[in-house]
A and B are shown apart, each in its own frame.
Chain A
Amino acid sequence: MERETGSRREAVRQAAALWVVRLGDPSCSAADRAAFEAWRDESHENEAAFEREAAAWARLDRLRAMRPGPVRLTEARPDRDLLAPERRLILPRFSRSPWARGMAAVTVAAVVGAGVMTFGSGTAYATAIGERRVVVLSDNSRIELNTDSKVVVRYRKGVREVKLVRGEAVFEAAKDARPFVIKAADAVMQADAGAEMAVRLRSDGAAVTVKRGAVALDPEPTERKDPVRLTAGVAAIYSSAGHRSRVVSDSEIDRALAWRQGAIALNGQSLEQAVAEFNRYNRQQISIADPSISGLRLAGYFQTTEPKSFVSAVTSTFPVRAFEDSDGAIRLSRRG
């Protein structure tokens, strides 16, 4: 009798896995099915190996529970990096309550038709706390506004100018003869056609992350210096003290922009930073009553509109207790 070897086992399992994938494909034909049955009838070894791979495939269907709720206004774009290692979930069950999805839908719907004001030559677009919105401009450029944000758009003959007045936004500059200029906190940026970047105002200055294309950043337009060129995958921070930039990975950019999917992605941030992040999106505010817990590090993927899920994840993971005041504010303190 011939001795079985690992490579033979692997070859059989490999073939079985390919059949599982093929049969699961909606475009699988009757001929494929017949070929599969012929293969399976060849041996009980094939039959058992197929059952084994098929069982694993079926178990993996449970991953659908990881899918975040539909929150985008314009399109539901599947997030291919949802399960990237940097985004390990703390407690996945929290990310999908029907309540949260309902709320997100309501919030997005409420935005439509509200928050547009035209004055002079510019048009202002704004969001309230917890809202997001996508604005498509006349040249097909897009602006996606995060929570509690405001931009003023001024398109003139020689220039397309947008000013970030409050909060955070992603800008996608469409191709056009006129330059696309973004003003934010005293700085002026000129985006290449096709560029996509996020700008977030800080207490002093702003943070810029370039996702696609390139942007020329001039942090101090009054000084006569050459602008800094930021290319895709670069993040820069500027303030009155100066500016610095660094290279960031795609996944880091996706995490920073998780809000476009209605999520907050934490990857080692402190509890203090995480709480500040949640408070941007919710009227229900969280505070840390005990400084000794502010430094706890968190990782996970949360719905922006679900501070309570975040809080229960924190209290079940750390020695932290949550107390809800009569006005709804949540206070976190050390337990025990």
Chain B
Amino acid sequence: MTQDDEHRRAWFRREILPLEPDLLAYARQFCRDGQTDPEDLVHETFARAIACKTWREIGNPAGFATRILRNCALDALRRRKVLTITAVADFDRIEPIDETPGAHMMLESREELRALADAIAELPTQCRRVFTLRKVYSLSPDEIAVRLGLSVSTVEKHLVKGLRYCSEKLGRRIGRKSKVDEGRSWSARRDHDAKR
């Protein structure tokens, strides 16, 4: 049981999590009227995807995640008290994300390293220092607390803050050119519309 749970989580990490930037771009298209937060859709999609007990049978994780997200968006639409015309009309015109295997590659390593360093550099000074000592120099929170004259719980708070900042940033980052081009006009892409 626990063993199987661990396999399920590993599958989620491997196949679903790296889709986040694409899913977010996809989710934005359902939220054009500003009534739903696209991040919430992705968050819910993750929760539903990791719950899947039959993950072994899923041949196309990107297609799977896309369908979940679409359902989440539909549910969000149903929960609304006021429906706008655009929200419903947009629904049928949204192009699915690229489902070809291997399209969602991680960033090339050097570029990734730079992206990570950039994210850390953007943190407030004390938070950045704590994070640097933890992740670059692998000092324990106790050691960092002593070195910087902080309490362990403050060190923890800085680490949580830094991690939250980086995970949001990484979640939004797309390493390759996105297949979901939000700039294109809607009429020009009708021929390619998803018919699900």
Give the interface of A toward B (CB within 8 A): 1, 3-6, 9, 12-14, 17-18, 20-22, 25-27, 43-45, 47-49, 51-53, 55-57, 59-67, 78-85, 87-89, 91-93
List, in ascending order, chain B residues with CB within 8 A of A81's CB.
128-129, 132
- CB A88 to nearest CB in B, in angstroms, measures 7
List, in ascending order, chain A residues with CB within 8 A of B137's CB.
67, 78
Residue B112 CB within 8 A of the other chain:
yes
Can you name the residue of chain A whose Cβ is closest to the Cβ of B110? A93
**Would B79 and A43 count as touching, CB distance under 8 A?**
no
List, in ascending order, chain B residues with CB within 8 A of A13's CB.
43, 164, 167
Which residues of B from 128 to 144 have beta carbons under 8 Å from A? 128-129, 131-133, 135-142
- Of B54-62, B94-102, B115-123, B175-183, the stretch lying at the interface with chain A is B115-123
**Would A47 and B50 count as touching, CB distance under 8 A?**
yes
**Would A14 and B160 count as touching, CB distance under 8 A?**
yes
Known: A56-B170, A93-B110. 11 other contacts (CB 8 A): A4-B40, A4-B43, A9-B37, A9-B43, A18-B156, A48-B46, A51-B13, A55-B13, A59-B170, A85-B121, A92-B117
Size category of the B interface is: 35 or more
Task: Give the secondary structure class of B's interface.
Answer: helix
Q: Which of A14, A25, A26: most chain B CB closer than 10 A?
A: A25
Question: Which 8 residue pairs of A and B lie closest in terms of their CB atoms, listed nearest first?
Answer: A56-B167, A78-B137, A80-B129, A48-B46, A45-B47, A44-B51, A85-B121, A48-B50
* Docked CA distance A86–B140 (Å): 26
Question: Could you name 8 residue pairs across A and B whose Cβ atoms are closer than 8 Å?
Answer: A9-B40, A21-B159, A49-B43, A51-B9, A51-B12, A51-B13, A78-B132, A92-B110
**Would B163 and A83 count as touching, CB distance under 8 A?**
no
- CB B152 to nearest CB in A, in angstroms, measures 9
Can you name the residue of chain B whose Cβ is closest to the Cβ of A85? B121
Q: Which of B75, B131, B132: most chain A CB closer than 10 A?
A: B132
Question: Which of A22, A26, A66 is close to B136, meaning CB atoms less than 8 Å apart?
Answer: A66
List, in ascending order, chain A residues with CB within 8 A of B90's CB.
none
**Would B39 and A6 count as touching, CB distance under 8 A?**
yes
**Would B136 and A84 count as touching, CB distance under 8 A?**
no
**Would B40 and A5 count as touching, CB distance under 8 A?**
yes
- CB A1 to nearest CB in B, in angstroms, measures 6
Can you name the residue of chain B whose Cβ is closest to the Cβ of A9? B43
Residue B7 CB within 8 A of the other chain:
no
**Would A64 and B160 count as touching, CB distance under 8 A?**
no
Which residues of B from 145 to 196 have beta carbons under 8 Å from A? 147-148, 156, 159-160, 163-164, 166-167, 170-171
Question: Which of A3, A48, A63 is close to B49, meaning CB atoms less than 8 Å apart?
Answer: A48
- CB B140 to nearest CB in A, in angstroms, measures 5
Question: Which of A3, A62, A80, A88 is close to B113, meaning CB atoms less than 8 Å apart?
Answer: A62
**Would A84 and B163 count as touching, CB distance under 8 A?**
no
* Docked CA distance A62–B125 (Å): 21
Residue B44 CB within 8 A of the other chain:
yes
Which residues of B from 59 to 110 have beta carbons under 8 Å from A? 75-76, 79, 109-110
**Would B50 and A64 count as touching, CB distance under 8 A?**
no
- CB B120 to nearest CB in A, in angstroms, measures 4
* Docked CA distance A89–B164 (Å): 23
Q: With A27-B140, A81-B129, A83-B120 known to touch, is A22 a contact of B166 (CB < 8 Å)?
A: no
**Would B163 and A17 count as touching, CB distance under 8 A?**
yes
- CB A270 to nearest CB in B, in angstroms, measures 23
**Would A88 and B13 count as touching, CB distance under 8 A?**
no
Interface string of B16-52 (1 = CB under 8 A from A): 0100100000000000000001011001101111110
